[in-house]
Structure 1
């Protein structure tokens, strides 16, 4: 089968393309920015048609000669997204009909019952796009999904990061009462299986289906069950009668990597109960069958995401901040000295030699002391420092060593998170090298995030001085070595 994927560089599309190729399908992608295709492992196996989803000429060229189209474009990137999605749907419906495409598959959103009041703009737009495609002359399947569980999914990342912030807080957790509404999440693997199966349905199937996993949970339960899988403490939730989606979206944007423009429509949709029609699930299962072992339970899907397994794991083009929260800062310098000269300085770190940083900031104590909430006892190795995995190095523990190339230290202090310091050197020429020094902090709960914000300005200065001084020492020592008499 020859398949056009519109939205191939997005979350679902980037994973679907690999699945289709593995099944032996030919794949063409429509890309507004073709360079974004290059980061994917399947880049050399697909045909790329440059163009925007609202460009009639580009979409017609992309549809030409294909058997089926998967439409995965959801703008949701600011004001006017509904109008842009509507226009793109009309362009695709017309282009597919002109090109003789046999099937369109569209991934939209679950819809609330009609008697629940005004539907959020985000869900209304998804329903409108589906209606446009179903009204066209090309047989279409509209799949309506709720929260998709997997690393990189905006809704799942919102759940992940809010949970990790909240579950490190007080024993009683105030939550907006809309979090007691129900939702039927679905694993990303199940979504890909369903899209793939729907591409191969007979022409007479022309309708919408609700799709979801086996569990119907409240939004609060999504957080609680995530906490259980992640090994986090689960506080007692306290419902608060609060309906302020804009304010809530600001809070979500502040506490998670999800952009405010994306957070607001997602938060607005939480006021609805989004549960699948069981008749749809049964009909779809009859048509395409389910995955071996049946639909994926929510906690199994969460575990796959935490473990980075398959499609549930990270992808090369996932939005920034996908996956566990981790803040990093890197300093790098080109050095007029060979890599072994820089490594020789790295081997002297700690103990009486110090850390080549701000005078008085012994063993980077300012950074670790503030994170730990108090002054820590100093920890020195017995005798000269040794770069061996598991050995102490002042207030750090050596986590891994690649002699001459890379050293990774983990803070031994009881911190509200995990801090690592990575030092790496590589040769760039016979007598030149590149030194890179990276600090990573993975916070635990709200306390960890607040602690990092408190120390960030100071630690950036301290570590920048360390990187500059360490490379300067390496250069100076190497120059002295060149000028010293040759010993026979």
Structure 2
């Protein structure tokens, strides 16, 4: 099957492509500015340039494909909600025009709340899902909780804040009552690949790991895996907008992205329609949160440049590699940086 991965050079896409290649599919990888040559699979796919906000360009880029996996979600633009709607409309239209038989969208878990109570990030996800559902083909949305893996935006925010806040961690009290069900990127990739091959399954499913836990428990789990001594102190007077601004300046992840994500942390992110009940369990079962974090920290980023080590591929985006591991193609803000280096850059004149 010829599968178009729209957003192939993004985090999840970079781990999905090698899984699709491993399964024997031909992959069309889209790019916006220039093809990524960093990932180990870059020479094994057909690259096609596309601006998802240009309808004709989307139709041309998807010509001849059997299935489409849509992974685009903009958070770094102030007008991302309008842009996401426009892109989704173009992809839904193009899927019918080119005769694709399957369209899979990777989204986020959306709490069952009135639209006015959702963050812009979650509301945009829901809007895109609704638009793509109108495509003249078989459509499935996979709604994921936090994706755990080296290089994942959410994981890097957790990793970097845990390192830089010091022994005493101040945690907004409004996060303490929220429950999350993180999923490893390994399992997310498995369910995406299964979804592409299972056109009879439509609607939406939730992609989660086996462990529901509070955000505070998640931070404690990370600290244990990273061998960090951390004490959490709840802070009651911590407005969401203030927390978002502070977090955006504390980490290397682009501030607009962090500030868009933080308001979603006040919602529960647990499964109501578990994908495992429909698509089955991966071989060996889903990774626990602790195991997913451990594997994400096991390979230093400097070692990810090798794709053919003694024990096999070490790059997280290599065919046969561990998706939890970092990849040389991951963004610069996901690199390991000491607290001292961060402090130097954060200080005026740094």
TM-score grouping bracket, smaller chain normalisation = 0.7 to 0.9
Greater share of strand: 1
Question: What's the offset of the Cα at 1:296?
Answer: 0.9
Shift of 1:232: 0.8
Residues 138-186 of structure 1: CA distance to partner in whole angstroms, max 9, x if unpaired? Answer: 11110111110001111111111111123x333xx43211221111110
Q: Which residue of 2 aligns with 1:169?
A: 167
What's the secondary structure of 1:140's corresponding residue? Answer: strand
In the alignment, is the contact (CA less than 8 A) between 1:71 and 1:107 conserved in 2? yes
Q: Does 1:217 align with 2:213?
A: yes
State the match for 2:280 in structure 1. Answer: 289
TM-aligned CA deviation for residue 256 of structure 1 = 1.0
Among 278, 295, 300, the alignment partner of 2:291 is: 300
Q: Number of aligned pairs?
A: 328
Partner SS state of residue 34, structure 1: coil
CA distance in 2 between counterparts of 1:40 and 1:2 reads 20
Q: What secondary structure, in the 3-state scheme, does the structure 2 residue paired with 1:40 have?
A: coil
Higher-RCO chain (CA-CA 8 Å, sequence separation at least 6): 2
The offset of 1:244, in angstroms, is 2.5
Asked whether 1:185 is paired with 2:182, we answer: yes
Counterpart check, 1:264 vs 2:259 = yes
In the alignment, what sits opposite 2:92?
A: 93
Shift of 1:323: 4.5
> Shift in Å at residue 276 of structure 1?
1.0
Cα deviation, residue 253, structure 1: 2.3
Task: Judge conservation of contact 2:167–2:229 (CA < 8 Å) in 1.
Answer: no
* Residue equivalent to 2:236: 241
Q: Which residue of structure 2 lines up, in the alignment, with residue 2 of structure 1?
A: 2
- TM (norm. structure 1) is 0.64
Offset at residue 286 of structure 1 (A):
4.3
| TM-score, with structure 2 as normaliser | 0.88
Match of 2:249 in 1: 254
Does the CA contact (< 8 Å) of 1:86 and 1:129 recur in 2? yes
Q: Deviations over 1:228-284 (max 9, x none)?
A: 01111131x23222342332222112221121100111111111111111xx21xx3
What are the superposed Cα offsets for residues 405-456 of structure 1, whole Å, 9 maximum, x if unpaired? xxxxxxxxxxxxxxxxxxxxxxxxxxxxxxxxxxxxx33xxxx468756999
Correspondence for 2:108: 109
- 1:101-145 CA-to-partner distances (Å, cap 9, x unmatched) read 000010011111326961000000001101111122211110111
Where in structure 1 do 4 or more consecutive aligned residues deviate above 3 Å? 448-457
Structure 2 matches for 1:325-404, cutoff 5 A? 326=337
Conserved in 2, the CA contact under 8 Å of 1:201 and 1:287? no
In 2, the alpha carbon distance for the partners of 1:185 and 1:45 equals 31
Distance in 1 separating the partners of 2:66 and 2:343: 55
Query: Which of these residues, 171, 175, 191, is aligned with residue 194 of structure 1?
Result: 191
Q: Is the 8 A contact 1:177 1:241 kept in 2?
A: yes
Provide the C-alpha distance between the structure 1 equivalents of 2:291 and 2:51, rounded to a whole number of angstroms: 37
The verdict on how the C-alpha distance between 1:93 and 1:228 changes in structure 2, with shifts beyond 3 A counting, is same
* SS of the residue 2:164 aligns to: helix
* Post-superposition CA distance 1:286-313 (Å, at most 9, x none): 4432112211100100001001361111
Other structure's SS at 1:253 match:
helix
Q: Post-superposition shift, 1:62?
A: 2.0
* Structure 1: segments with no counterpart, 5+ residues: 327-441, 461-488
Contact 1:174 1:239 in 2 (8 A): yes
| Unaligned residue ranges in structure 2 (runs of 5+) | 300-313, 315-321
SS in structure 2 at match of 1:242 = coil
Distance 1:259-1:138 versus aligned 2 partners, 3 A rule: same
Matching of residue 57 in structure 1 with residue 52 in structure 2: no
Secondary structure of 2:333 counterpart: coil
1:134-173 matches, within 5 Å, as 134-166=133-165, 168-170=166-168, 173=169
The answer to whether residue 7 in structure 2 is matched with residue 12 in structure 1 is no
Distance 2:342 2:50 in 1: 43
Q: Confirm or deny: 8 A CA contact 1:157 1:323 kept in the other structure.
A: no
Of stretches 90-99 and 37-46 in structure 1, the one that deviates more from structure 2 is: 37-46
> What is the deviation of 1:75?
0.8
Q: Which one is further off, 120-129 or 48-57?
A: 48-57
Q: Residue in 2 aligned with 1:315?
A: 327
